[in-house]
Structure 1
Amino acid sequence: MSTTKGHADRDVTEDLLDGVAGWGPVLCHLGIFELVPVTFDLGIPLVARWMNDPAVAAYWDLAGPEIRTTRHIRVQLHGDGRSVPCLGVLNGTPMSYWEIYRADLDQLARYYPALPQDTGIHLLIGAPEDRGRGVGGILLRAVTELVLDKRPACRQVVGEPDVRNASSRRVFRKAGFDFVAEVDLLSKRAALMIRDRLTLYPYEIPRFDGYS
């Protein structure tokens, strides 16, 4: 994914991705899940630790000192709002990292018939014990449906996992994404996967209004 530096203006960020910070928690089969935007004061050390897991580093290429992760996130925080890095918080515990981005404004849009407001998703599950048992698929489905709910102008949600990452491709399929093509991006050969709004299940996303 590519990002372009611009003004770090909160209003611009909310204009481009409809205020990810305010999307709020949702209920899923695993409990209460929420995307919480990463800031320089929140989340970077934890994400950097996850990036040094060999299973993660093989695809994200951000292993090493914390400054490598900081630089990766800084580009997004100082950018024009087309990409928002987030912690995925499940039942009060940060356990995953997400990037919600405007796919139609990304280099990815060169490789498929992008529509205005297309939204892309990158994700990693932090703890090894949470991988390989269906957690990723459940959360990706919840986030995808959250994107489509909160971004009414978005018709397609897009993923581009590394073609070598069979487990990630499987997660996208379980979340309702269709494989479209293999594409050569700047940093990887990717499996282009798309979830169209028309395939959204005909029920409303459960709301969480607070602890009783």
Structure 2
Amino acid sequence: MSEHPDSRRLIVVEATADRTITRRDKLCFVRIGFRPLERRDFSLVARWLAEPLVVRWWNHDSSPAAVERDFGPCVDRRDATEVFIAAAADPFGLIQRYPIEAEQDYFRALQSVWPVPAGALGIDYLIGVPAMRGRGLGRQMITTFADLTWTAHPQARDIVVPVSTGNLASWRALEGAGFRRVAAGDLPPDNPRDPPEHYVYRLRRPLEVS
């Protein structure tokens, strides 16, 4: 992939974590860092949003105007959503978290499928570099980010994520990260070509970090 400017000067402002990924008989050690999204990242995010597999499931406008519209308020902290760039040696993905109740239409739709606990957080995630997929990195990214979330949001007790039933890689990554399927039901799909069927996954705060 083409290297993002300053990608080798990754500043990890929350934490980093070492995880071991086992895939078949191959053992890999990957160190993942997260830093808050900045406007200098917008061209990189636009490229990721235009990548075919990301288009398939995110269905997000990748134009500069749309990236500014949807991510600019997060960078300026005018939106409750916190967006992070995930990197190993180089940036490879994006992950964001938000209070589900802050998105009222989304919250009401999700409540119709499953009773969302008060104060629950939601997350969205993508791996924008095709070569980084299929290696267990999504599971590791979610696991590490969830661990950091409990520290960053000590009042949060739950992370809740609905996933299209057809997005096998996404919900398997959640299961690998310790999320439990708690419901199935119809929700508006991100991509209009998809049916409304979704699984709902929940991760509860571990007792040891309560």
TM over 0.5: yes
Question: Could you tell me whether the CA contact under 8 Å between 2:164 and 2:189 is conserved in 1?
Answer: no
Structure 2 gap segments, 5+ residues each: 1-11, 21-28, 191-195
Structure 2 distance, partners of 1:106, 1:183, is: 19
Alignment pair present for 1:136 and 2:134? no
Identity among equivalent positions (%) equals 23
Contact 1:137 1:175 in 2 (8 A): yes
Structure having the larger proportion of residues in strand: 2
1:55–1:39 CA distance, 2 compared to 1 (3 A): same
Alpha-carbon distance, 1:141 to partner = 0.9
1:172 aligns with 2:169: no
Aligned-residue offset at 1:116? 3.5
SS of residue matched to 1:161: strand
Q: The residue matched to 2:163 in structure 1 has which SS?
A: coil
Correspondence 1:97 to 2:105: no
C-alpha displacement of 1:51: 0.9
Matches within 5 A, 1:28-47: 28-29=19-20, 30-40=29-39, 42-47=40-45
Rounded Cα–Cα distance in structure 2 between residues aligned with 1:152 and 1:141: 17
Matches of 1:36 and 1:79, distance apart in 2: 14
Once the two structures are overlaid, the 10-residue window that deviates more, 182-191 or 97-106, is 182-191
Give structure 1 stretches of 5+ with no counterpart.
Answer: 1-20, 205-212
Separation in 2 of the partners of 1:68 and 1:99? 17
Superposition CA RMSD, Å: 2.4
Q: Distance in 2 between matches of 1:67 and 1:27?
A: 36
Secondary structure of 1:160's aligned partner: strand
Contact residue 104 and residue 115 of structure 1 kept, 8 A: no
Query: What displacement does 1:53 show?
Result: 1.1
Counterpart residue identity of residue 177, structure 2: A
Equivalent residues in 2 for 1:116-127 (5 A)?
Answer: 116-127=118-129
TM-score of the pair, normalised by structure 1: 0.73
2-structure distance, mates of 1:73, 1:86: 11
TM-score (norm 2): 0.74
Structure 1's 45 and 194: CA in aligned 2 closer, same or farther, altered over 3 A? same
CA contact under 8 A between 1:53 and 1:63: conserved in structure 2? no
- Are residues 74 and 183 of structure 1, via their aligned partners in 2, closer, same or farther at CA, if it must alter by over 3 Å? farther
